[in-house]
Amino acid sequence: MPAPLPIETQTAVVTGAARGVGAAIARALHASGYRVILADIDEKACDALAEELDLASETALTAKLDIARPEDFEHVLEKCVARWGSVEVLVNNAAVTRAEPVLDIDTETFNAIMAVNAGGTFTGCKIFGRHFKERGYGRIVNMASLAGQNGGTATGAHYAASKGAILTLTKVFARDLAPFGVTVNAISPGPMDTPMVRDIVPEAAFAGFLKNIPVGKLGDAEFIGEMAAFLASPKAFFVNGACWDVNGGLYVR
């Protein structure tokens, strides 16, 4: 197996990089020395972040990505290879949700959320996993969720089910790709201080919401970024198929 390239010559793709946790991960990877592709359905928001990271566009580029479209993943990979020769890191972060009671979720909506979240992660792991396998090196980091571990429905039962599926996919791909120098891990955040959480929790209920978290506050997206950067690094070669819990003590195992 070839030795990993120096980080400054490695390329990382982050899906859902336009805002929130995805943007924090992209910032952390870029700060660690990686060249980054900011992939999102909202390409304009990614353009602003790319300019923030590197105005010269030498180490930060954007790409339009709808994770429900496998051809979009192929196009992102082709763009990376055309510009920098290869990709070494994929962070599957993009996801959607719609907070609604489980008995109100229709089958079409359930299937759509599963197809985007779990299906998108599966497609990313498969397409980039093949590239990593051929090269003999790679890192995949999948963003799961506390909801996928404890069955929480605040973000919707369809979202929770999709994140549980991502945890299982992480284990499957981790076992399959490990002999080829590729590791696959997951990060499972609890409530983070992001726009999505602020939108879901009513202002009047926010104080009570925080009291239910043992550490008494929301998580920090920047810390998730630092954790992703570690799992993406050559140092994390012996971490594979793992789920890293970041939930303030809401779920202890």
Dihedral angle computed from the Cα positions of residues 23, 28, 33 and 35, in that order, rounded to the nearest 10 degrees: -20
Mean pLDDT, the chain, whole residue set: 93
Q: Which of 43-57, 96-110, 112-126, 181-195 has the highest mean pLDDT?
A: 112-126
| Whether residue 1 has pLDDT greater than 70 | no
Question: How confident is residue 2, by pLDDT bands cut at 50, 70 and 90?
Answer: low
Question: How confident is residue 29, by pLDDT bands cut at 50, 70 and 90?
Answer: very high
The pLDDT, as a whole number, for residue 66 is 96
The pLDDT, as a whole number, for residue 132 is 98
The answer as to whether 117 is a domain residue is yes
Report field, pTM of the whole predicted structure over 0.85 = yes
| Whether residue 107 has pLDDT greater than 70 | yes
The answer as to whether 252 is a domain residue is no
Catalytic annotation, residues: 159
Q: If you write DSSP's letter for every residue of 205-253 in order, what string do you get?
A: GHHHHHHTSTTSS-B-HHHHHHHHHHHHSGGGTT--S-EEEESTTSS--
CA end-to-end span of the chain, whole Å?
Answer: 35
The answer as to whether 1 is a domain residue is no
**What is the number of structural domains in the chain?**
1
The answer as to whether 208 is a domain residue is yes
The answer as to whether 134 is a domain residue is yes
| Whether residue 168 has pLDDT greater than 70 | yes
The pLDDT, as a whole number, for residue 154 is 78
The answer as to whether 2 is a domain residue is no
- 229-248 mean pLDDT: 97
Could you tell me the two tokens for 91? Answer: 């962070």
The answer as to whether 165 is a domain residue is yes
Distance CA 248, CA 66 (A): 31
Residue 127 neighbours by CB distance under 10 Å? 17
The pLDDT, as a whole number, for residue 69 is 95
H or E segment to which residue 77 belongs = helix 70-84
The answer as to whether 144 is a domain residue is yes
The pLDDT, as a whole number, for residue 23 is 96
The pLDDT, as a whole number, for residue 158 is 96
H or E segment to which residue 25 belongs = helix 20-32
| CATH code: domain of residue 132 | 3.40.50.720
Structural domain harbouring 211: 7-246
